[in-house]
Structure 1
Amino acid sequence: MAQVKVIKCLQFRIYPDAAQQVLIWKTFGCCRWMWNHLLDERIKSNKVLDGVKFKNTTPAHFKKIPENSFLKEVDALALANEQLNVNRACSKCFAKGKTPKFRAKRNERRSYTTNAVNNNIELIHIRDTENYLKLPKLRLVKIIRHRNIPDGAVLKHVTVKETASGKFFAALTYEVMQEEVQPVTEFKDVESFDYNMRDLVVSASGRYDIQAEDIHWYRKMEQKLAKEERRLSHMEYGSNHYRKQKHRVGAIHEKIANRRNDFLHNLSRDVADEFDAVAVEDINLHGMAQALNFGKSIHDNGFGRFRGFLAYKLKAQGKALVKVSWNFPSTQRCSVCHHINSKVKDLSVREWVCPSCGALHNRDKNACANLKQEAINYLNRWANGDSTLILTPEGVLSVKKPHLLKGGE
């Protein structure tokens, strides 16, 4: 079987000492400084030259200036990566007539990336309870290796970041050779999920129906978070007490996010292992959050993240996530006779009887059944070479957007 290159990222907790923490903070600041100065040059060059290739100033140019000697204290590859980030951002935004944003110190991006060159980065194993990560400028940093590195993996780069609670992590990106996954050709077991703001999702099989008490992680911690944020608002900005209290607030946010991610990872893993394909509705969650004032509830249950987790876990096994078009009448259509009942548009209607065949439907279960039927229809059309469908690199099968259709198909 053919071997293919796969990029894998493993994140580990690191424990830098006091001097190393100071150097990491300096690197964050220098990266922000480099982003702002390079971006300023790119914007001025783009306006003056009217779209002609800009002057490609590098971090080395800034280091030659005496008053910028502080840039020599930090990792040079971190600044070089910041230059690449600026170039990519400008290319993308200038093409759309937009401009990337400058970075403010109060909203500083607490991470930097350095590349593995000439063994400058290395994992050093002393014993099971003592491991170190060698990084440029930082030298040896204590690391908790809770996972093994794949055999034959080649280290490409490392991202060092500090979370809102003051914890430090290192994300190691490896290039691994593994056997190519063969796509599933027969979709025998198909599951579908209908979005439910209160209970997250309702499943067609009924085995993955989520209860409201199992989710709403933000709602459960909202009062405690509000209390700590009130304390933070009464402290002097920049003081030691302010910094410590900010870490307490960040720790609560992290706890909420960790609980949500853990639940969604476990749920998506169980579903991806059991079924050959999964159907979800391609609803615009961002639009719902803004238009219907449900932002807090929609962001809390994490349905968008659940779809993302499902997509890459299904793709890793050669399976597919089917996104049914948003204009498909999954709620209004009778799953038995396919009669469209427009009266079901009202969200207060939870159960209804089909006026055509007399079947009694639960609103969410009927939508799941329709999504499953439509997903099977998508899969059959895709197998027969239907050009109106597209399988994205992320493993998502959906209808092509209108601007991608040739000749108005």
Structure 2
Amino acid sequence: MKLSVLKAYKFRIYPDGQQKQFFIETFGCVRFTYNQLLKAKMDELANKEVKLGLTPAKLKKDYPFLKETDSLALANAQRNLERAFRNYFQKRAGFPKMKTKKSHWQSYTTNNQQHTIYFDGDQLKLPKLKSLVPVKRHREIKGTIKSATISAKDGVEFYVSILCLEEIAPLPKQQQNIAIVFDSTRLVHASQHLPVECTYALSTQQKLARAENKLLIKAKAVKRKKMLLNNARNYQKQKGKVAKLYRRHSCQKREYIDQMSYHLVKQYDAIFIEKISEDIISTGNYTISDWHQFVRKIQYKAQWYGKELHFVTLSAIGEHKMTEIMAQMGS
């Protein structure tokens, strides 16, 4: 039986100058709308009065420039704020904060209404944009497009995340189980050999460590010369190299996490995962945050493809012990 799920696809996009300007202006309008709605809500809470809520439609009357942007993007900003307050009141998150243009990442979300978002080969059509945006589409999209989130890092790198409603069929049973634990070097230590490797991520981690050490040396040299770091060209050049390696390393780790999680779900019917303490300090290539991201991916993929997931408490465990535990569990 197929399962209907929401699945996201992320691609790099290459907008031209006019398209970049549109995206940056939309980011600003969405940020402005969110902050204005947040201020109104804060005033309402401070005065303990229930008022007719401020909406993007009402804001447009006082700020006509909002009419030039995607109305669905503004509506989604309101929905995001409402979700943030629900999480706050249910004690799942802190009090919502103002958005700032100083953030490295800016984004907005728009919805697909009557075929307003679609692909034409390797180009993407978005609401309010008359021209198509070039996309590096490295895989085919399946299902029905529900929404698109445009994001940008420092106004230079642009991405789109396409959310689709897709039907997924369960994967065939393999009559195999596996137990896995956290490993700071390889991410996963398993009771069986895993063919998926993280060679590229480890190599980049080593290059990043050397680049960061070189950056530290240059910073000390600049300090001895009593110069400002912003005026030191060699330091800034090395800083750019470190940032580039860091982005590459992050992308490689995400790719490895995707590949490993899918391999485990595809090859094994039941996966036993060690529960780990939140206070563990990792000094290797992978952090506890990486592990949690990995576990989240296994959780939803196991649900999609009809596989079992079990969390167990294992201590001081090795390969033989994991195999023994699995045998006791009926593998």
Aligned length: 317
The whole-number CA distance in structure 2 between the counterparts of 1:10 and 1:369 is: 36
Q: Tell me by how many angstroms 1:10 deviates.
A: 2.0
Q: Tell me by how many angstroms 1:101 deviates.
A: 1.6
Aligned identity (percent) is 27
Q: Tell me by how many angstroms 1:262 deviates.
A: 2.4
Match of 1:335?
none
Match of 2:134?
142
**Cα RMSD (Å):** 3.6
The whole-number CA distance in structure 2 between the counterparts of 1:301 and 1:80 is: 32
- The question of 1:87 aligning with 2:82 is answered yes
Map residues 156-167 of structure 1 onto 2, 5 A cutoff. Answer: 156-163=146-153, 166-167=156-157
The whole-number CA distance in structure 1 between the counterparts of 2:5 and 2:269 is: 22
**Structure 1 residues 7-64: Cα deviation after superposition (integer angstroms, max 9, x where no partner):** 22222222111111112111112222222221121122123227x5x53211121221
Amino acid at match of 2:254: N
Residues 277 and 321 in structure 1, CA contact (< 8 A), matched pair in contact too: yes
Q: Residue 26 and residue 214 in structure 1: after superposition, are their counterparts in 2 closer, same or farther (change >3 A)?
A: closer
Which residue of 52, 66, 69 corresponds with 1:74? 69
Which residue of 77, 92, 97 corresponds with 1:101? 97
The whole-number CA distance in structure 1 between the counterparts of 2:311 and 2:185 is: 21
Match of 1:343?
none
Match of 2:179?
192
1:221 is paired with a residue whose SS is helix
Q: Residue 273 and residue 33 in structure 1: after superposition, are their counterparts in 2 closer, same or farther (change >3 A)?
A: same
Match of 2:319?
365
Q: Tell me by how many angstroms 1:269 deviates.
A: 2.9
Match of 2:161?
171
Q: Residue 245 and residue 216 in structure 1: after superposition, are their counterparts in 2 closer, same or farther (change >3 A)?
A: closer
The whole-number CA distance in structure 2 between the counterparts of 1:246 and 1:118 is: 46
The whole-number CA distance in structure 1 between the counterparts of 2:69 and 2:257 is: 38
Q: Tell me by how many angstroms 1:123 deviates.
A: 2.1
Q: TM-score, normalised by structure 1?
A: 0.66
2:192 is paired with a residue whose SS is coil
Q: Residue 372 and residue 219 in structure 1: after superposition, are their counterparts in 2 closer, same or farther (change >3 A)?
A: farther
Q: Residue 100 and residue 188 in structure 1: after superposition, are their counterparts in 2 closer, same or farther (change >3 A)?
A: same
Q: Residue 117 and residue 277 in structure 1: after superposition, are their counterparts in 2 closer, same or farther (change >3 A)?
A: same
Q: Which has the higher contact order (CA 8 A, sep 6+)?
A: 2
Amino acid at match of 1:35: Y
1:44 is paired with a residue whose SS is helix
The whole-number CA distance in structure 2 between the counterparts of 1:121 and 1:313 is: 26
- The question of 1:62 aligning with 2:59 is answered yes
Amino acid at match of 1:132: Q
Q: Tell me by how many angstroms 1:103 deviates.
A: 2.0
Q: Tell me by how many angstroms 1:113 deviates.
A: 0.4
**Structure 1 residues 173-220: Cα deviation after superposition (integer angstroms, max 9, x where no partner):** 2223455x4896xx9421111223345332222456979997485454
Amino acid at match of 2:134: K
Amino acid at match of 1:202: H
Residues 208 and 242 in structure 2, CA contact (< 8 A), matched pair in contact too: no
Q: Tell me by how many angstroms 1:366 deviates.
A: 4.8
Q: Tell me by how many angstroms 1:158 deviates.
A: 0.7
Match of 2:123?
132
Map residues 207-356 of structure 1 onto 2, 5 A cutoff. Answer: 207=194, 215=202, 217-225=204-212, 227=214, 234-235=229-230, 250-284=243-277, 286-289=278-281, 294=282, 298-299=286-287, 302-324=290-312, 328=313, 330-331=315-316
2:116 is paired with a residue whose SS is coil
Q: Residue 39 and residue 108 in structure 1: after superposition, are their counterparts in 2 closer, same or farther (change >3 A)?
A: farther
Give the unaligned 5+ runs of structure 1: 126-130, 237-241, 332-362, 380-409
Residues 211 and 242 in structure 2, CA contact (< 8 A), matched pair in contact too: no
Q: Tell me by how many angstroms 1:265 deviates.
A: 2.6
Q: Residue 280 and residue 371 in structure 1: after superposition, are their counterparts in 2 closer, same or farther (change >3 A)?
A: farther
Give the unaligned 5+ runs of structure 2: 220-227
The whole-number CA distance in structure 1 between the counterparts of 2:210 and 2:116 is: 46
Q: TM-score, normalised by structure 2?
A: 0.80
Match of 1:395?
none
The whole-number CA distance in structure 2 between the counterparts of 1:296 and 1:48 is: 50
**Structure 1 residues 193-248: Cα deviation after superposition (integer angstroms, max 9, x where no partner):** 122334533222245697999748545413324656978x8227xxxxx8x99875
The whole-number CA distance in structure 2 between the counterparts of 1:43 and 1:216 is: 48
The whole-number CA distance in structure 1 between the counterparts of 2:163 and 2:198 is: 37
The whole-number CA distance in structure 1 between the counterparts of 2:70 and 2:241 is: 30
Residues 202 and 285 in structure 2, CA contact (< 8 A), matched pair in contact too: no
Map residues 388-399 of structure 1 onto 2, 5 A cutoff. Answer: none
2:149 is paired with a residue whose SS is strand
1:310 is paired with a residue whose SS is helix
